[in-house]
Amino acid sequence: MTTAVTYEQRPWRSRIAPDALPKRERLLLAQPYDAAVTPPIADLDIRLSDDLVELLGEAQERIIRFDSEVGHVTAPFSSILLRSESASSSQIENLTSSAKAIAEAELDERDTGNAPLIVANVRALEAALAASDELSNTTIIAMQEQLLGTSAPEITGRYRDEQVWIGGGNFGPHEADFVPPHHDRVAAAMDDFIAYSVRPAPLPLAAIAVAHAQFETIHPFPDGNGRTGRALVQAALRRVGLTSGVTVPISAGILQQRDDYFAALTSYRQGDVEPIVSVFADGALLAIANGRTLVEEIETIRAAWQQALRDIRADSAAHRITALALEHPVMNSRLVREHLDASDRTVFNTLDTLVDRGILTVGSSRQRNRLWTAPPVLAALDGFAARSMRRG
């Protein structure tokens, strides 16, 4: 069996009036186009080189160790790493934003730019992890709906019902870099994808990489396929038992190999699975190294804050807010009030104490609401993102 796609000719029915098109495009769009046909992979057995099998073993072992070590730390690394994965996955699609802007968007204090889209990706990833044991067409569609339900609700709630294409012109698929399957093939292709994804595999990370490449080849949605596909990767890591406590931000490692990642998807469509498996194995190792640096920096920040509050009881509101600030480095009074379940007076007095001790700074949002920020945490998150952008 192979992962190589074949092609079939389909007639193109343009929605643009012929007299509104340049002559060249008018003649081109009158011709049929070639759409990919994905082979079934439900029973696919992949063969990998000995070196790649060894690399996969190392990557899987480090994923398990990272999950075990970091998942039992008191600091909220699960949510920190989940947000880092979401931001990195968005960066692969050229959706970038600062940690501060993303944190503000989580509070509904920023509604423009890329930050709200990245927050939506966090919600999609949360939905993926919540449904990690229930992979189905329904749960996959729900993930994409979490991603785009606010920004593009008209293309959520179902698989696509139109032809899509990657690259090339805007008028039609004839000169595209890749034309995914016709929409009438998507439902069957996704059933096959699910059958492969839930099948036990001797090298789970390799199977996850192959499933991801198949998903991106099917391209079941009009938009959001890349981010939804990488959310499915995290669900798969949880489902097969490689992770249980934290999100290993594999997208950060893929981001460091962005060109190789897209080239590997092309190789997969030509029948070669090794490049995408290699990108995932290397990506896991790169992501874990980057993630460990972030964990160490957050631990250092937490220790410094505990030292600054050493004369205050450990169960006080001040210590509880600093723990919250590790997870939410931008806070408004509403978030703090809900977390503490305390009066406004207690909330503002405690925030003033943390500002006086140099732990938080106070400013305002674009909506002119007061916000309290933890600059060292934001710097650590931006540092993680910057390291993820370094190629090679």
| Residues with catalytic roles | 219
Residue 227 marked in a binding site: yes
Under 8 Å between Cβ of 89 and 227: yes
Residue 259 marked in a binding site: no
Q: Give the separation between CA 357 and CA 84, rounded to whole angstroms.
A: 28
Cα–chain-centroid distance for residue 194? Answer: 19
389 DSSP β-pair partners: none
Q: Give the separation between CA 374 and CA 103, rounded to whole angstroms.
A: 11
Consecutive H or E run containing 356: helix 344-356
- Based on its alpha-carbon atoms, the radius of gyration of the chain, rounded to whole angstroms, reads 23
How many CA atoms, within 13 angstroms, populate the side-chain half-sphere of residue 180? Answer: 27
Residue 230 marked in a binding site: yes
Buried b (16+ CB within 10 A) or exposed e, 350-365: bbebbeeeebbeeeee
Amino acid at site 165: W
Structure tokens at 314: 């450990």
Residue 156 marked in a binding site: no
Under 8 Å between Cβ of 7 and 34: yes
Residue 47 marked in a binding site: no
Structure tokens at 51: 């070196």
Instruction: With CA atoms as reference, report the closest residue to 247 among 234, 260, 256, 261.
Output: 234
Amino acid at site 260: D
Residue 225 marked in a binding site: yes
Pairing of strands 370-373, 330-331: antiparallel
Amino acid at site 291: G
Consecutive H or E run containing 318: helix 317-327
Binding residues: 223-230
Binding residues for ATP: 223-230
